[in-house]
Amino acid sequence: MPVQLPLNIDSVKGFLAPEEGEALYQYALEASQLGPCLEIGSYCGKSTVYLGVACQQNNSVLYAVDHHRGSEEHQLGEEYHDSDLYDDSIQLMDSFKVFRTTMREARLDDTIVPIVAPSAVASRHWATPLGMVFIDGGHSEEAAQTDFRSWVSFIKPGGILAIHDIFPNPEEGGQAPYNIWKLAKASGLFEELPMVNTLGLFRRR
C-alpha cells in the first residue's frame, strides 16, 4: 500500500521515482528509531517529505543538508536548469524558498532541520550518530566522494546508507554515485540490500 503523505508529492519538483520515495520512507521509519536521519541534497524537498514523514512518526528529526545553489546540471544553460528557481537579482540558483514552502505544506516544520551549507562544511564539526544517511547531492566525482567521506562514518550499526542515481551503465547516467556505491560495497562496513530502481541501499554492520 502506498505511503500516505500530507501533500500531493507529484506537485514537488524533483527527480525521485515513487518506488524510490516509498523505499526511503520504509527504511527511514526503521532507521529513525536508532537515531536522527540525514540527507545530502534536498533540492525542493521531494525526498525530504518521504524521509521526514517517517522520522515524524518516531518523534525523530531529519537533517536536510543542501547549499540550495543547485548541482552542476542545474546551472544556467545546463540540462536540468529550472528558470523558476533562478534568482535573477543575484544571478544564482536558489531552491531554499521553494524547499521551505514544501516543508510547511507537508507539516514537517517540527521535524526537518535545514542545514543550508555545502556538505563538507556541514560535516566539519559533526558529532551526532545517525540512523540513516541518504546521499543525493552533486553528481561530480569530487562532490560524491566528498559526501561519502564526510558522512558515512556517522551511521550507527544497523543504520542505513542510501545512494541515489546508481547507473552501472555509463550510457544511462553519471558514474559518480555508482562509484561511491562501489566504495561502500567494497568497504566491508555494510551489508548490501536490494536496489530499488536507481536507489542503492546498505545496512551498517
**All structural domains of the chain:** 17-204 (3.40.50.150)
Catalytic site positions: 139
- What pLDDT is stored for residue 80 in this prediction? 62
- Summarised one tens digit per residue, pLDDT across range 87-145 is 777 777 899 999 999 999 999 999 999 999 999 999 999 999 999 999 999 999 999 99
User: pLDDT band for position 84 (50/70/90)?
Assistant: confident
- Per DSSP, the residues of the chain read -PPP-SS-GGGS-----HHHHHHHHHHHHHHTTTS-EEEE--TTSHHHHHHHHHHHHTT--EEEE--SS--GGGSTTSTT--GGGEETTTTEE--HHHHHHHHHHTT-TTTEEEE-S-HHHHHTT----EEEEEE-S--SHHHHHHHHHHHGGGEEEEEEEEE----SSTTTS-SHHHHHHHHHHHHSSEEEEEEETTEEEEEE-
Q: Give residue-wise pLDDT tens across range 101-110.
A: 999 999 999 9
pLDDT band at residue 76 using 50, 70 and 90 as cut-offs: low
Q: What is the pLDDT of residues 153-202, one digit of tens each?
A: 999 999 999 999 999 999 898 899 999 999 999 999 999 999 999 999 99
Provide the pLDDT for residue 93. Answer: 87
Q: In this predicted structure, what is the pLDDT of residue 75?
A: 60
